Structure 1
């Protein structure tokens, strides 16, 4: 995990730099593909996912190393051919894991956050899950394991494969000619993020589009059908923690309230979005299409925008601190720091949502942070920081209290949030 943390120290500034460059380009071109709170939500989701990953909070049902040890029929040495086979295998596994997420109710929960934004830009690529605690991904690496591709080759290529899917989340690159038949392009991935009927659950490949063309899930972007982004069952929240667990909570609730024992069992494995008829009539959910979607917006004041950006940047800097001092902080303090940062993200995005409980959530964060300082006389390997953090916690609580007391804080149009989601393709 320490090596992974070191890689992230370089990857995070690079990805954020591209987001800033795209935002600047968009501003110069006069196109509005970024919205302030939506972008903060995307970045916050990326921070939360990074925390989950670096703390090793995902359990793989079958690890690749173990599978390769027991199933390999060849013993191959690392060469360019080996790397090519491994990369194609990763892409194949990505396609089927991704397709499973779009087609099975239970697995949609780990992917829904990536489709929650109603914009399309590089920041959306940062919307990665924290709700995937059990992963089936490496089961689809069976062909590579059978051929004896070394685990170290897979370990090197996995982050590379992920980063190569970052650039396709942009509206500023059109169709790329012959490359449209070889790789996944921004045009193809715009289709994937659209809720238009013709686009839903299409273009599921990671790097090479051959899988979509081979398995019947390819759809070209049509000039007469501009993509409309978002979920067919909007979540109406900026909070990435809520976004990650909304679908799972719906499944649990529906399984509990349905009168059919058969439905209680099969709801988890039915197509994404399926609900028992009795709970669907008792607990109807709002559904939209490309014609009826109205983008979620809490109409925040300039002061709230500025404060939210401050909290987002501060949280990102704290994440960088955790990565930089990963070894010195050590376990279990890394988990304590991670819990504090998760709570921080929940707190300031609750404020962005204009949640009536935002002050109490911020109060809990303040108490948690002050308790860490009190018991350790430290702030995670940097003792001098404890006074700065303590001051920030108290000031933050006062600022949030001021926002909540403002008569314009509560937005009556957005005081109720959907806790449901559906496949958006």
Structure 2
């Protein structure tokens, strides 16, 4: 975990620089690729995924190290060829796990957050799941384990493979000639994120596009069919924690409401979007049947709320980065408490971005947790040693934030709660 924290502390600033460069280039090209609240939501989603990983909230049913120890038939030395095989093997696993996430009802909840943005830009690449806690795809690693690819090699290659998927989340790069036949390019991945019927569930590869061509899921980007991004049934919230569980909540509701016991069981493993007939008739979903009818979600925040949301996100990012760079100095309990506080922090300000009244109790909980952690720790997790005066800054921010939340909810007419939380919680494919 220390290696993971160190790798992220290097990678995240690099990602942010590229996001800024993309925005500058888009403005010069007179294109809009970012919307403020959507970008904040994407960056906040990336923070929740980082916090989940730092807390160690991932359960492997069977670890790769155990698997390779039990089934390896070769003893491969750590040469450059092993790293190449590991990269290809991880990409093969990535294709099939990605395909299962798209095709199976319950598994879609593990992936919906990545598709939830109605924009397509580098920041949306950071929308990563916190709901995929249990590693269910261990069986896909069996071919690699048979070959005897060492676990330590996989541990090195896996984050590299993940980070290599960042760059192609952009609308600013067109088709790339011969590379279109080898790698996943921005054009290929625009298709993947689109809700147009012709593009749905296509281009599932992560690095090498030939998996899609081999297994029949390839679709070229068509000039006459510009991609429309998002999910068929919009999530209608900026809150990444809600987005992570919208589909799961919808499945629970359908399983509860249906009268058919067989449907209560099979709904979880049917194709994504499948619903029991009696429930679908009584509780129909609204969704974009025609992608070009899409109306993008907009909570219509005032200029001051937009500015305050950026302030909140930047402070949250600073705190998450503090956890990363000081990770080796923290006890596990400190990491857990800090991370839980940050989850509440993110929930509170993204709820405020929605102008949802739940922002008030969330903010109160954040304030109380912040004061309690300050007292318990005798300061703010040693931040005072890095930034003089940091303790007072944190306490001041917590107080101001509480006041600002009440002010914004009172001043800006909030949307009806049904259109913010419950509606979002019934979102599906």
Structure 1 residues 422, 253: CA separation in 2 closer, same or farther (over 3 Å shift)?
closer
CA contact (8 A) 1:354 1:410 kept: yes
In structure 1, the residue corresponding to 2:203 is in which secondary structure?
A: coil
Q: Does residue 394 of structure 1 match 2:399?
A: yes
Name the CA distance, whole Å, in 1 between partners of 2:270 and 2:131. Answer: 19
Alpha-carbon deviations, 1:6-42, whole Å to 9, x = none? 1111011001110111011111211011000000000
Match of 1:291 in 2: 292
Q: Could you list the runs of 5+ residues in structure 2 that have no partner in the other structure?
A: none
CA contact (8 A) 2:113 2:127 kept: yes
Report the CA distance between 1:223 and its aligned residue. 0.4
CA contact (8 A) 2:243 2:424 kept: no
Report the CA distance between 1:291 and its aligned residue. 2.3
Name the CA distance, whole Å, in 2 between partners of 1:175 and 1:17. Answer: 23
Name the CA distance, whole Å, in 2 between partners of 1:118 and 1:259. Answer: 35
In structure 2, the residue corresponding to 1:291 is in which secondary structure?
A: helix
Match of 1:79 in 2: 79
Alpha-carbon deviations, 1:52-75, whole Å to 9, x = none? 112211112221111100010000
In structure 2, the residue corresponding to 1:88 is in which secondary structure?
A: helix
Report the CA distance between 1:123 and its aligned residue. 0.4
Name the CA distance, whole Å, in 2 between partners of 1:27 and 1:136. Answer: 42
Alpha-carbon deviations, 1:284-320, whole Å to 9, x = none? 2111031221000011111001000001010010001
CA contact (8 A) 1:93 1:138 kept: no
Report the CA distance between 1:401 and its aligned residue. 1.0
Alpha-carbon deviations, 1:339-392, whole Å to 9, x = none? 000000000000000102212211111011111112232211335633221111
In structure 2, the residue corresponding to 1:34 is in which secondary structure?
A: coil
Name the CA distance, whole Å, in 1 between partners of 2:168 and 2:313. Answer: 24
Report the CA distance between 1:254 and its aligned residue. 1.2
Name the CA distance, whole Å, in 1 between partners of 2:381 and 2:2. Answer: 16
> Structure 2 matches for 1:166-245, cutoff 5 A?
166-245=166-245
CA contact (8 A) 2:109 2:248 kept: yes
Name the CA distance, whole Å, in 1 between partners of 2:341 and 2:222. Answer: 45
CA contact (8 A) 2:105 2:272 kept: yes
Which region of structure 1 is more displaced relative to structure 2, 373-382 or 256-265?
Answer: 373-382
Match of 1:63 in 2: 63
Match of 2:25 in 1: 25
Q: Does residue 417 of structure 1 match 2:423?
A: yes
Alpha-carbon deviations, 1:97-132, whole Å to 9, x = none? 000000001110010000101101000100000011
Name the CA distance, whole Å, in 1 between partners of 2:428 and 2:96. Answer: 19
Report the CA distance between 1:418 and its aligned residue. 3.0
> Structure 2 matches for 1:89-108, cutoff 5 A?
89-108=89-108
Match of 1:314 in 2: 315
Which region of structure 1 is more displaced relative to structure 2, 275-284 or 242-251?
Answer: 275-284
Report the CA distance between 1:417 and its aligned residue. 2.9
Name the CA distance, whole Å, in 2 between partners of 1:343 and 1:112. Answer: 21
Normalising by structure 2, we get a TM-score of 0.96
Name the CA distance, whole Å, in 1 between partners of 2:127 and 2:335. Answer: 22
Name the CA distance, whole Å, in 2 between partners of 1:167 and 1:220. Answer: 19
Name the CA distance, whole Å, in 2 between partners of 1:249 and 1:219. Answer: 31
Q: Could you list the runs of 5+ residues in structure 1 that have no partner in the other structure?
A: none
Report the CA distance between 1:264 and its aligned residue. 0.8
Name the CA distance, whole Å, in 2 between partners of 1:58 and 1:191. Answer: 30
Name the CA distance, whole Å, in 2 between partners of 1:187 and 1:177. Answer: 11
In structure 1, the residue corresponding to 2:356 is in which secondary structure?
A: coil
CA contact (8 A) 2:52 2:130 kept: yes
Name the CA distance, whole Å, in 2 between partners of 1:60 and 1:376. Answer: 32
CA contact (8 A) 2:242 2:424 kept: no
Normalising by structure 1, we get a TM-score of 0.97
CA contact (8 A) 1:315 1:344 kept: yes
Report the CA distance between 1:81 and its aligned residue. 1.3
Report the CA distance between 1:202 and its aligned residue. 0.2
Alpha-carbon deviations, 1:216-235, whole Å to 9, x = none? 00000000100000110101
Report the CA distance between 1:139 and its aligned residue. 2.2
Match of 1:282 in 2: 282
Report the CA distance between 1:414 and its aligned residue. 4.8
Name the CA distance, whole Å, in 2 between partners of 1:162 and 1:341. Answer: 24
Which region of structure 1 is more displaced relative to structure 2, 75-84 or 137-146?
Answer: 137-146
Report the CA distance between 1:49 and its aligned residue. 0.5
Alpha-carbon deviations, 1:129-166, whole Å to 9, x = none? 00111012332111111000011111110011011110
In structure 2, the residue corresponding to 1:89 is in which secondary structure?
A: helix
Which region of structure 1 is more displaced relative to structure 2, 266-275 or 49-58?
Answer: 49-58
Match of 1:254 in 2: 254
In structure 1, the residue corresponding to 2:425 is in which secondary structure?
A: coil
